[in-house]
Amino acid sequence: MDSERYRIVMANSQNEKTDQPSFKKPEFKIFFILLYTSLALTIFRYYGSAEFYSNNISTSSGPQNQYYYFLSSFIILGIIPILISTLGFKMKLTDIGLGIGDFKKVIFFILIGMPIIILLAYLSSKNPAFKAEYPLHRAFLAGQNKLLVYLLIYGLYYIGWETFFRGFMLWGLREHFGDTASILIQTIPSCLMHIGKPDVEVFASIVAGLVFGWVVLRCRSIWPVFICHWGLGVFLDIFIIYG
């Protein structure tokens, strides 16, 4: 009798265990990418901004505060994620979209994308909200001394941005979540980082996140979207300054 009761109790206990949901431990790579995303974007927003430079490092009236901002993006969003991917995850640069990729597709998307980007930059330059925001170094509205240097260094900002969102995040998460989900995931923080910009730019960043993510996966390279994104910033400034 006791043995039969013991068997029933054990059977019920086993059934209860099997009814419990089973949770798989997240892969360390996914965990670390998402954790670093939160940390990196917070650090970049608070300590990598031009405002932080002006308030805590130097009150120079030149574009140095913007150079600090561009360099912060290059290091926090670019260099460190590259080191994490290559040294920590043992990935190759090509594994995070930093290779040439499909060269024909890269050239194709640049040739298709740049005319669209130039048109968008021109139309945006007529919007008062964009005129109030750009160029980031407002002194260029009065004089264009060293503008070319500024626009070239501006490229560091976009290298960091695209390396982080369309390289580190997109390619790092793709193996686990697949193409569609990875594109959507990296679009979320990319959009939220635009909060405070003109509302049109914030909404446009959602479209850009989806389109840029798709293009990067098609080309297996971040470089076509880097060229287009940098081009948008450059031509927007030029149209506003000389418009």
| pLDDT category of residue 27 using cuts at 50, 70 and 90 | confident
Over residues 74-88, mean pLDDT: 97
Task: Please say whether the beta carbons of 206 and 226 come within 8 A.
Answer: no
The 10s digit of each residue's pLDDT in 126-146 is: 999 999 999 999 999 999 999
What's the rounded Cα separation, in Å, for the pair 43 and 62?
24
Task: Please say whether the beta carbons of 127 and 207 come within 8 A.
Answer: no
Exposure class string for 144-179: b at 16+ Cβ within 10 A, else e: eeebeebbebbbbbbbbbbbbbbbbbbbbbbeeeee
Over residues 21-27, mean pLDDT: 53
| pLDDT category of residue 59 using cuts at 50, 70 and 90 | confident
Per-residue pLDDT at 168 exceeds 60:
yes
Over residues 89-115, mean pLDDT: 97
Look up residue 169 and give its two tokens: 């995040």
Per-residue pLDDT at 26: 54
What's the rounded Cα separation, in Å, for the pair 64 and 220?
34
